[in-house]
Structure 1
């Protein structure tokens, strides 16, 4: 439990220190975000969750996909990121909620789809987090685990080596998704993006 708490605190501290101006660091990511949101197959009136939303970059795209009759909620554990999201006007696209990924204050089956950019590797317990996302998603709903760079390209940018036990690698993420109520439908870990698209098991 102590390690889990420290991980959560470290995540908050990391993003809190970078919240202001976060999106100016990555100004060219919007097309990749738009393409990934498109993979969710959202329709007018659907309900979408932006899990680990950060500055809620995906929320305008999700709002456009579900239209004015749909529902969009962004959840993040870092208050400073949510404050920056509000400063950027993202509250106009949906509700912004502070909550931990493993304990969402949301009812069962509340959403048709979940978008999660850069989330899974920051979860203290990825299995618990993905199980919680399954809980709030309708059977047949979709989950997009996304990053605008693939794992190798991201590691190269940061001067790191790829770790063989990376939770985002296909064998690991496929196994964890299957154990937490999801079926992996598409896996793309190219230089251009990371996308693991899963369907909520019926």
Structure 2
């Protein structure tokens, strides 16, 4: 438990230090976000969660998809990221909530879909995080695990090696999804993006 708290604090500090001007460092990512939102197939009036929303870059896209009658919620662990989201005017697109992705202050089955951009590999316990996302998603709802770069391209950017124990790796992701309430329906891990789509199990 102490190690999980320590890792959570490390992640929080990592993003806190980088929150100001975050989007100016990655100005070309919006089209990839738009494609991920489109892949969720959100209905007008739908309810969608942006888990690990950061600066809430996806919120305007999610709001446009569900329309004025829909519900959009962004959750992030890092208050500095949420303050940057407010500075960028994102509060008008949805509610912004500071919370741990593994313990969401949201009701069971509240959402039709969840977007989790760059989230799952930062969680101290990815399985617990996926299970919590399943809890707040209605049966038959959808999840998109997304990053605007594929794993290999991201590793190259950061000077890292690809890791076999990465939850996002194809051999691990399907079983992890099935064990946490999801069924994986698509995995695209090209250089252009990482996108895994899953459906919330009905039982």
Band the TM-score falls in, shorter-chain normalisation: over 0.9
Q: How many Å apart are 1:183 and its aligned residue?
A: 0.2
Could you tell which deviates more after superposition, 143-152 or 159-168? Answer: 159-168
Partner of 1:148: 148
Query: Using the alignment, how far apart are the partners of 2:160 and 2:124 within structure 1?
Result: 21
Alignment deviations for residues 111-139 of structure 1 (CA, whole Å, 9 cap, x no partner): 00000000000111111111000000011
Query: Using the alignment, how far apart are the partners of 1:197 and 1:40 within structure 2?
Result: 8
Alignment deviations for residues 9-44 of structure 1 (CA, whole Å, 9 cap, x no partner): 000000000000000000000000000110000010
Shift >4 Å, 4+ stretches:
none
Q: How many Å apart are 1:147 and its aligned residue?
A: 0.2
Partner of 1:58: 58
Q: How many Å apart are 1:173 and its aligned residue?
A: 1.4
Partner of 2:179: 179
- Counterparts in 2 of 1:117-156, with a 5 A limit? 117-156=117-156
Query: Using the alignment, how far apart are the partners of 1:93 and 1:173 within structure 2?
Result: 31
Partner of 2:103: 103
Give the secondary structure class of the aligned counterpart of 1:49. Answer: strand
Is there any run of 5+ residues in structure 1 with no aligned partner, and where?
A: none
Q: Say how many residue pairs are matched.
A: 202
Could you tell which deviates more after superposition, 168-177 or 129-138? Answer: 168-177
Query: Using the alignment, how far apart are the partners of 1:173 and 1:96 within structure 2?
Result: 28
Normalising by structure 1, report the TM-score: 0.99
Query: Using the alignment, how far apart are the partners of 2:56 and 2:78 within structure 1?
Result: 12
Query: Using the alignment, how far apart are the partners of 1:179 and 1:160 within structure 2?
Result: 28
State the Cα RMSD in Å: 0.5
Q: How many Å apart are 1:110 and its aligned residue?
A: 0.4
